[in-house]
């Protein structure tokens, strides 16, 4: 009777493994951490801080990186194609975007509608500083509502996740060798 050694198990991934489960896990983790960052920035009075916005993209990139790497190393036997890595990363960002969109609807629509008024006030100040007319400001502020913000967040997160995933998939790509030596 033959047994499979650990090195053979690593080289032979489980058949029919899809990235959905791991993408859901890492997407929810990335989304939850981004929500936590959002809450901290809101209660610290730094909602319009550009560094906080960049930090949220870094958190998304980390979620994509760890998710794709986990999928490659634990589920695919240490190998992943560029396309599979890209698809996994986009799925992770999609799930993070869904969670963030739901958070936006809940937070600004139900939990703290006053936060939406504060956001409008900050954006209005910024638009006045840029020299926008009252009509332009009024038109822009019509789009500051939980529904529109949630609707924009999902495609935006998925798009930025796609861009980030292009880089991460290229870094983590590891093609399976054509011929693997058999060990006895």
Q: What is the pLDDT of residues 161-180, one digit of tens each?
A: 999 999 999 999 998 887 76
Secondary structure letter of residue 73 according to DSSP: I
Residue keyed to tokens 């609807």: 105
Residue 9 pLDDT > 50, yes or no?
no
C-alpha–C-alpha distance, residues 90 and 176, integer Å: 22
What residues contact residue 151 under an 8 Å CB cut-off, 6+ apart?
Answer: 101
Boundaries of every domain in the chain = 19-172
Token duo for residue 29: 């983790």
Output the pLDDT for position 14.
58
What does pLDDT average to over the chain? 85
The rounded distance, in Å, linking the Cα atoms of 159 and 163 is 6
Residues in the chain: 184
DSSP code at position 13: P
Which phi-psi region, left, alpha or beta, contains residue 45 (left: φ > 0; alpha: ψ -120 to 50)?
left
Contact 60, 155 (CB under 8 A): no
Give, in degrees to the nearest 5, the angle at Cα 36 between 31 and 42: 125
pLDDT at 129: 80
User: Measured between alpha carbons, how far is 139 from 137 in angstroms, rounded to an integer?
Assistant: 5
pLDDT in tens, 81-110: 999 999 999 999 999 999 999 999 998 888
Query: Phi/psi of residue 175, each to 5°?
Result: -75, 145
Confidence band, pLDDT 50/70/90 cuts, at residue 182? low
User: pLDDT digits over 106-137, tens only?
Assistant: 988 888 888 878 777 777 777 878 787 778 77
With H, G, I as helix, E, B as strand and everything else as coil, classify residue 136.
helix
């Amino acid at each position: 009777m033959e047994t499979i050694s650990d090195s053979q198990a690593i080289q032979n991934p489980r058949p029919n493994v899809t990235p959905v489960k791991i993408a859901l896990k890492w997407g929810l983790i990335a989304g939850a951490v981004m929500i936590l960052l959002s809450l901290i920035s809101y209660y610290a009075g730094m909602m319009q801080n550009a560094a906080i916005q960049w930090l949220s993209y870094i958190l998304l990139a980390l979620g994509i990186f760890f998710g794709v790497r986990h999928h490659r190393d634990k589920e695919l036997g240490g190998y992943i194609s560029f396309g599979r890595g890209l698809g996994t990363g986009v799925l992770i960002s999609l799930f993070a975007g869904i969670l963030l969109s739901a958070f936006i609807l809940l937070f600004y629509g139900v939990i703290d509608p006053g936060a939406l008024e504060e956001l409008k006030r900050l954006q209005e100040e910024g638009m006045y500083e840029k020299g926008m007319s009252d009509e332009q400001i009024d038109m822009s502020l019509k789009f500051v509502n939980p529904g529109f913000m949630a609707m924009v967040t999902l495609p935006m997160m998925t798009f930025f996740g796609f861009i980030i995933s292009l880089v991460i998939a290229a870094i983590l790509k590891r093609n399976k060798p054509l011929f693997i030596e058999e060990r006895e």
